[in-house]
Chain A
Amino acid sequence: GQQLNQSPQSMFIQEGEDVSMNCTSSSIFNTWLWYKQDPGEGPVLLIALYKAGELTSNGRLTAQFGITRKDSFLNISASIPSDVGIYFCAGRSPGGSNYKLTFGKGTLLTVNP
Chain B
Amino acid sequence: DADVTQTPRNRITKTGKRIMLECSQTKGHDRMYWYRQDPGLGLRLIYYSFDVKDINKGEISDGYSVSRQAQAKFSLSLESAIPNQTALYFCATSGQGNTEAFFGQGTRLTVV
Q: Which residues of A contact B (CB under 8 A)?
A: 1, 6, 9, 31, 33, 35, 40-45, 48, 88, 90, 92, 97, 99-101, 103-106
B52 within 8 Å of A (CB atoms): no
A103: B residues at CB distance < 8 A: 35, 42-44
Do A48 and B100 form a contact, CB below 8 Å, given A97-B50, A99-B94, A104-B42? yes
A110 to chain B, nearest CB (A): 15
DSSP majority for the B interface? strand
With an 8 Å Cβ cutoff, the count of chain B residues facing the other chain is 25
State whether A42 touches B42 (Cβ < 8 A). no
Q: Which of B63-71, B78-86, B103-111 contacts A (4 or more CB under 8 A)?
A: B103-111
**5 nearest interchain CB pairs?**
A42-B103, A105-B42, A103-B43, A103-B42, A92-B99
B101 at the interface (CB under 8 A from A): yes
